[in-house]
Structure 1
Amino acid sequence: MPATPMSPSTRFFNAAITRVVFVPEISDKFAPTRSELDAGVDVSADIAELTGWQVTSEQVQTPDLATRFTSSIPGRSTAEESSITFYADREGEDIRELLPRDTQGYVVIMDHGDQSGLPADVYPVRVASVGKMRSVGEEAARLEVQFSILSEPAENITLPASGGGEGN
């Protein structure tokens, strides 16, 4: 009997759906409340690029004398160096006001939009730096905010009720 095939995913394009919200306070990162999320700031419209924001695990080799094959087990987990590149405002009224260096809070990434019952990731963060990206090329002025991930992110938490429709 052949294996049961997995149902194909309904593919989507992240632009106009994914939401990134900076939330100053969350009492339980594994179960943020709707009021905590709504107290945050949706920064999605000014994002030029997201880098990192992925949890990876080291591999621990476990050789033994009984075989030449070296097996491995999952080791320590870590979050990659993570940053968000934002567009700068000509008048200076941009992400620098919300996220100056040393600001602590939570970056909540809602890949499927802000929809009740769908998954999101919650990263406890501190702003490490806000770098001005200067170029003489064909690019708009941008600011790169680098984040330190302070503790293990809460991955695939279920978004609480309320919010809105797709991408909200």
Structure 2
Amino acid sequence: MRFNRKGTTKIKFLPTVASAALLPTRAEITAGNDLTQGIHTLDGWTIENQAIPTPDMGSTFVPKIDGDDEAADSSLGFYEDNTLDDIETDLAKGTTGFMCIFSKGDVPSGKGLDVFPVKVASNSKQYTADSEAAKILVQFVITDLPAQNQTVPAAV
């Protein structure tokens, strides 16, 4: 059944995930920081393949083979809080951890959990003279192959 990601998808930042398979425990998820409410935009969070052209003299068509995988440039846009500085401190430049995207919600035993090992590349306020809410853009580098479409750990 089709659904709207807004109101369903949850995004949490976990400082640690002990599993080499990048499957967090329920305790690690609970200890993480739920970022969902403050996010106004997200970009990237995909794996892209760098296809390799393989032309030959037998045809004017250029076929391709799959090449290396790489992570798309990824970021989260947040609304800035005028009293708290959680985003500025919790996601300061250089911070490492794991971005967990529960695409179908944080539903125990459900599918759709993507876990990206990340490092914060930049954390910058977005200044504007326009009439809009204050914003912060946090850019991430994905430091290793993510675990995609995993089963959400059961509640303890």
TM over 0.5: yes
Matches within 5 A, 1:29-44: 29-44=21-36
Structure 2: how far apart are the matches of 1:66 and 1:141? Answer: 58
Report the residue type matching 2:37 in the other structure. A
Distance 2:54 2:22 in 1: 32
Aligned match of 1:5:
none
Give the C-alpha shift of residue 14 in structure 1: 1.0
Give me the TM-score of the superposition, normalised by structure 2: 0.91
C-alpha distance in structure 2 between counterparts of 1:92 and 1:115, whole Å: 29
In structure 1, the residue matched to 2:53 is: 61
TM-score, normalised to structure 1, is: 0.85
Q: Paired residue for 2:116?
A: 123
Could you say which residue in structure 2 is the equivalent of 1:78?
70
* Structure 1 contact 87–142 (Cα < 8 Å) conserved: yes
* SS, match of residue 75 in structure 1: coil
Match of 2:133 among 122, 140, 156: 140
Deviation at 1:97, TM superposition (A): 2.3
Q: How does 1:97-112 map to 2 (within 5 A)?
A: 97-112=89-104
* 1:23-67: CA deviation from partner (whole Å, max 9, x where unpaired): 000022442221111111111011111011111101112234444
The CA RMSD over aligned residues, in Å, is 1.5
The structure that has the greater radius of gyration is 1
Aligned partners of 2:26 and 2:145: how far apart in 1? 21
Alignment-derived partner of residue 17 in structure 1:
8
Residue 107 of structure 2 aligns to a residue whose secondary structure is coil
Determine if contact 2:23/2:115 at 8 Å carries over to the other structure: no
Q: Which residue of 2 aligns with 1:26?
A: 17
Q: 4+ runs of 1 displaced by more than 6 Å?
A: none
Q: Deviations over 1:54-105 (max 9, x none)?
A: 1110111223444443221111111111110111111243311211111100
Work out the percentage of aligned pairs sharing the same amino acid. Answer: 38
Partner amino acid for 2:81?
D
* SS across alignment from 1:151: coil
